[in-house]
A and B are shown apart, each in its own frame.
Chain A
């Protein structure tokens, strides 16, 4: 037992310059994260210095058996909090051997939008509030909930403390430090309204990095829950009834919104979002209609609304922003299982290029 532990925590820097790189990509469902590791001859800090790699796409629903190779292009490097030392995590996206992004690769299009000069000059910032639910293994019921029954109604759990109110904090706190170590701009965590549900926020991050960082944060969360023997669910409405759903609210601002008279720019942007409401909703996550009911601090899925400090609206503008006449706004529509590459680039496209 202790021998395994010693081996996992071996510090290799004393004996070799070689490092381990964990290549991470998104699988065929658009929500499953995959990874495998390889040895590199020495430390690397620049993704362009990393070799391309490939994997068996027929095992992830991304290629046919007789032409199964999918190519991994390294895009971003983070420190590995499990292996430590000089070992790294590498966020990748997936291409055919001919060099075209495969259909499930949403990063490629997002990167194009973010390198458009109009978008790039606006320096779009994102703050993403990822909610998630921890589930008991085997029974698909949230942790801490009696199997076959329900806990007391919502009220005491939001930011709560105590054994009868906060369940799973160790996972959340371990994840917080792991993200800080890895180099992710994690800005905070809190316990959510439904017991067993938590949230972490990543941001402010500019452009394409927002998507990279959220995906790596999700990877770290899945690794930590794997160790803890718990399942993490990104389903937007894990328990039907009088229980909150899980969202991924996206806070957004551009350079002009952050400067004087920014509030007018914000209002214009919100109007553009209103016009494209249906297109955005279609891209904001599967199953969102079970969550956006108009109750439980959501806006109804068919109606677009916005308001200051209003948590029942599609888009919320903070009181600070209103007071200072500049700032950012919060799109509360995306579900917890949204793809951050899609959501961030779509908001930029609609508000800057639309």
Chain B
């Protein structure tokens, strides 16, 4: 299945608009498969995974694509977890004696927490609990990816484990009955390696201003599509609930959406999708960043808008339920903001399709608000809401469970509610 990552030669990006600083070497970085006769042109751009002098025969590729099924029942399981910074993904693999259907059949494992900032050296074991299984698009066959969360040997979730608390919230009866759906729009920026500057941008300078790039097509407008497209298929293969992709407003920036997913699945699917994206960019020799404002100035930031609905919101009279939810959210604005990603204050300025970070606002079809309600929802009187505040580096376990908690488990005082309703002109 690694073949899906091999781009055809037509996908090679070439800069057609002449620029004093850029050269055609820059665009080679988006080639996922080395053209065998052009390997010398690529040499300055390390495709870090593999570079062969004797490029006439690439035998490593045949090993990577080897189907081991005829020779052994054993499969490879890649255990994936979140490291000490809360946003760094880590993984290592192990052999299992035979294929596995359910996470409960997978053995717990452990890793060196002192190497990820999650444990001291003299008591370094952190335990991995398998939580979700996906198919491995890189190894193919019956091999799998396993999303895990992390615990002390005594069985307590370690401080950076945000999934445990989210799972508790989602198993609460009130939350569970409402069948909360999430659709998460993950934006991300691709950077050239070593220079920390976006893919496609001339090093030391800027491209033309924003305008032509959103959903754009063409060599001057769309940079890095191979990564977005390879990622789309990899996610579908893996079993991730990916619902779409698009090029974003800032050049070199892209978005994919995962959903609708129910409850804790949303977090698992988004983290696995992020892992696949880092693996693919690793192979392409491009750096992935989830920073919410990678370039200062008149350039869009990167967010992770979270679309949300409950059973009552999706049924007749749902719009009123949505308004009540918005009211609750308005009263917990600061709690949510502080959990919505580091560095978000550089992004939520009130400009570039964001709302200012200290002000809560909502509106129909309004992209400059904290919460946006679609025209369809307004027209049908039922649907969902979009929380536009989360940054691209948010933790989906935290954001999804906090939305459920604030709208389903938390109640404001009557006075606070009345005041807020007035302020937001919400008749609840």
Chain A partners chain B? yes
Q: Are A189 and B92 touching (Cβ within 8 A)?
A: yes
User: Is B94 an interface residue when CB atoms closer than 8 A count as contact?
Assistant: yes
- Smallest CB gap from A185: residue in B: B95
Tell me the B51-105 residues at the A interface (CB within 8 Å): 51-54, 56-64, 66, 68, 71-72, 74, 76, 83, 88-95
Asked whether A1 is an interface residue with its Cβ less than 8 Å from the other chain, the reply is yes
Given A170-B60, A173-B64, A228-B60, is A190 in contact with B92 using a C-beta cutoff of 8 Å?
Answer: yes
- Contact flag A310-B122 (CB < 8 Å), given A4-B56, A163-B281: yes
Q: How far is the CB of B231 from chain A (nearest CB, A)?
A: 14
| B241 CB-CB contact with A under 8 Å | no
Q: Is A311 located at the chain interface by the 8 A CB criterion?
A: yes
Contact (Cβ within 8 A) A161 B275: yes
Q: A160-197: which residues lie under 8 A (CB-CB) from chain B? A: 160-171, 173-178, 180-181, 185-191, 193
A137:B53 contact, CB within 8 angstroms: yes
The total of chain B residues at the interface (CB under 8 A) is 60
| CB atoms of B50 and A228 under 8 A apart | yes
What residues of B have a CB within 8 angstroms of the CB of A158 in the complex? Answer: 90, 112, 115-116
Kindly identify which residue among A82, A161, A297 contacts B59, using a CB–CB cutoff of 8 Å.
A82
B46 proximity list for chain A (CB < 8 A): 144
B336-362 contacts to A (CB < 8 Å): none
Contacts of A162 in B (CB 8 A): 89, 278, 281-282, 287-288
Does B177 sit within 8 A of A, measured CB to CB? no
Chain A residue, CB-CB nearest to B152: A319
Q: Does B131 contact A (CB under 8 A)?
A: no
Min CB gap A130→B, angstroms: 14
Q: From residue 279 to 301 of chain B, which have CB atoms closer than 8 A to chain A? A: 279, 281-288
Instruction: Report if A307 contacts B (CB, 8 A).
Output: yes
**Pairwise interchain contact B59-A8, C-beta atoms closer than 8 A:** yes
Complex Cα distance, B114 from A215, in Å, reads 30
Report the Cα distance A167→B76, complex, angstroms. Answer: 20
Asked if B48 and A167 sit within 8 Å, CB to CB, the answer is yes
CB of A139 within 8 A of chain B?
A: no
Give the Cβ gap from B17 to chain A, nearest Cβ, in Å: 26
Within 8 A of B (CB), among A253-295: none
In the complex, chain A residues whose CB is within 8 Å of the CB of B278: 161-162
Supposing A311-B121, A312-B121 touch, asked if A169 and B49 sit within 8 A by C-beta, the answer is yes
Q: Which A residues touch B66, using CB under 8 A?
A: 81, 177-178, 181
21 pairs, A vs B, C-beta closer than 8 Å: A1-B56, A8-B57, A144-B46, A159-B91, A170-B50, A171-B50, A171-B60, A177-B68, A180-B95, A181-B68, A186-B95, A188-B95, A189-B92, A191-B92, A227-B54, A228-B60, A229-B54, A309-B122, A318-B125, A319-B110, A319-B125
Interface residues of B (CB under 8 A from A): 36, 46, 48-54, 56-64, 66, 68, 71-72, 74, 76, 83, 88-95, 110-112, 114-117, 121-125, 138-139, 153, 193, 275, 278-279, 281-288
Q: Which residues of A contact B (CB under 8 A)?
A: 1, 4-5, 8-9, 79, 81-82, 137, 143-144, 155-156, 158-171, 173-178, 180-181, 185-191, 193, 224, 227-229, 297, 307, 309-312, 318-319, 323
Q: Top 10 nearest A-B pairs by Cβ distance?
A: A190-B92, A159-B90, A174-B63, A158-B115, A188-B94, A229-B53, A170-B49, A170-B50, A162-B278, A161-B278
